[in-house]
Amino acid sequence: MRDATDLIRALQAGEMSSHDLMTQTLARIDAVNPALNAIVGMRPVDDILTDAKAADATPPKGPLHGLPIAIKDLAEVKGIRSTFGSPIFADNIPTADCLMVQRIRAAGAIIIGKTNTPEFGLGSHSYNPVYGVTRNPYDRRVSAGGSSGGAAVALATGMLALADGSDMMGSLRNPAAWNNVYGFRPSYGLVPDDPVGDTFLHQLSTNGPMARSIRDLELLLQVIVVPDARLPHSTPAFTPLPNVTTLKGLTIGWIGDWGGYYPMEPEILQLCEDALEQMRGLGATVKPFMPPIAPEQLWHAWTTLRSWAIAAKQAPLYHNPETRDLLKPEMIWEIERGLAMSAIEVHEASLIRSTWFAAFASQPDVDIMALPSAQIFPFNADLHWPDTVMGRKMDSYHRWMEVVVPASLTGLPALNVPVGFGAGGLPMGMQLIGQRGSDARILQIGQVYHGATDWPRQRAVKIKA
């Protein structure tokens, strides 16, 4: 499977046409998607091929000219059914693109449809009542993760070479880990969102790129990060750093399971430690790291701010009796918690967030933190979520993904890198987490690791088209 950068080079050099690439892409989708359900809401094939022919007949519009892409079904795309995985929006066809999609389209990409996601993106398992369950290509009996599960599966199987995702609570990192690809959660503010509603308070979720290589992550990131002066947290544009061949001078702080706080399958820790040993071989210093804050505090702050943010956005659906009955229980739980919170409770949660941000920013011992990207391997796809991990009862639908909170709570950049496969043949990944604004450095580190490992190519999905 060729990555997006290679495909675009071939298109620009005239070695292949956009029409040929699109024909191959559609054939691949026809062959593998029915069993996996990753790409949904497909446009009519004739319309897609017409767009590909038009791309061949016009000068390049931008860096993605002629490349097929499907957009995660949490983003509105003009003229394409955009459901958010909810029956409430099952027939929603937007009349305009959201800001991110505007930029992808302006860069010349050809949008063919959507990628599947859980209802409103809640939960790290991509199933919904509109399109059903997305399954893992390494074992169709288990989950593809979420909420960017459709995007991750499309990449892992070669149905797409490049994909967008979004990440509130690991929604890029978890499915990337479970599908042996890369997913990058940028620093909050780097990728601007639509400047509508409140743009100051909620800093938990961001869009970001997914791919089979680091250079492809950088390619899409440069397209979607153009600063927007209407947004108060917007940051300068992203510029990649030069490629290097060593990690010499880098100190990685390995958190592991945070001294036993996170229940976690032991094999996951071993795979991550093996990857860290490879990074040592590339010149990095790796040492145990205990963050200077209690993880229980992070969880309390996270669940408070998350429920508050979800309620602020989705309360109108809850207050309308006609739509409330169509919301899944997890959404109702989040909204009811958020509506019941006082301003002081939210303030106290944000104080914890502030303390954690300052503590990591001021510590001198490590450059980046490393954590597993998930606490368990992919679970039975017929379940909604795992209620126990290593014999420990999970008290909410998302507690089993608590390991992603340290980055999400404070908007830190976090890159999932593949670290190999467990004895059961399922993939796993590890988070590399840096200071806010260190996005280019994190990706530079990822490129060195990718050059030495290239797990997406080493253990590509074996599905015949």
Residue 365's pLDDT is 94
Cα separation, 445 vs 84, whole angstroms: 34
Q: Where are the beta strands (DSSP E) in 57-109?
A: 68-72
Taking CA atoms, 328 is separated from 122, 127, 301, 305, 333, in Å, by 9, 11, 24, 20, 9
Side-chain half-sphere CA neighbours of 237 within 13 A: 7
Using CA atoms, how far apart are residues 408 and 108, in angstroms rounded to an integer? 31
- Asked whether 293 and 360 are in contact (CB, 8 A), the reply is no
pTM of the entire predicted model: 0.98
Closest CA to 145 of 399, 443, 428, 455: 428
Q: Can you tell me whether residue 299 is helix, strand or coil?
A: helix
Cβ atoms < 10 Å from Cβ of 438: 17
Measured CA to CA, the distance from residue 185 to residue 165 in angstroms comes to 9
pLDDT (0 to 100) of residue 28: 97
CA dihedral 175, 398, 349, 172 (to 10 degrees): 10
Report the pLDDT value the prediction gives residue 462, as an integer from 0 to 100: 86
* Phi-psi region at 321: left, alpha or beta (left = phi > 0; alpha = psi -120 to 50): alpha
pLDDT tens, residue order, the chain (465 aa): 999 999 999 999 999 999 999 999 999 999 999 999 999 999 999 999 999 999 999 999 999 999 999 999 999 999 999 999 999 999 999 999 999 999 999 999 999 999 999 999 999 999 999 999 999 999 999 999 999 999 999 999 999 999 999 999 999 999 999 999 999 999 999 999 999 999 999 999 999 999 999 999 999 999 999 999 999 999 999 999 999 999 999 999 999 999 999 999 999 999 999 999 999 999 999 999 999 999 999 999 999 999 999 999 999 999 999 999 999 999 999 999 999 999 999 999 999 999 999 999 999 999 999 999 999 999 999 999 999 999 999 999 999 999 999 999 999 999 999 999 999 999 999 999 999 999 999 999 999 999 999 999 999 998 754
Of 46, 132, 122, 48, whose CA–CA distance to 87 is shortest?
Answer: 132
Beta-carbon contacts of 155 under 8 Å, excluding residues fewer than 6 positions away, are 161, 162, 163, 179, 181, 210, 211, 212
Q: What is the pLDDT of residue 208?
A: 98
Other CB atoms within 10 Å distance of the CB of residue 235? 18
Q: What is the DSSP letter of 118?
A: S
User: What are the start-end ranges of the H helices in 320-438?
Assistant: 321-324, 329-340, 343-362, 405-408
**Burial (CB count within 10 angstroms: exposed 0-12, middle 13-18, buried 19+), residue 216:** buried
Q: Which domains does the chain have, with CATH numbers?
A: 4-289+365-458 (3.90.1300.10)
User: Cα(109)–Cα(96) distance, rounded to whole angstroms?
Assistant: 16
Q: How far apart, in Å, are the Cα atoms of 198 and each of 202, 218, 397?
A: 8, 29, 27
The DSSP bridge partners found for residue 252 are 286, 368
Residue positions annotated with a catalytic role: 72, 147, 171
User: DSSP 3-state helix, strand, coil percentages of the chain (rounded to 5)?
Assistant: 40, 15, 45
Q: Any alpha helices (H) in 132-193, and if so which ranges?
A: 149-156, 173-178
Helix (H) or strand (E) holding 135: strand 135-136
- What pLDDT does residue 463 have? 75
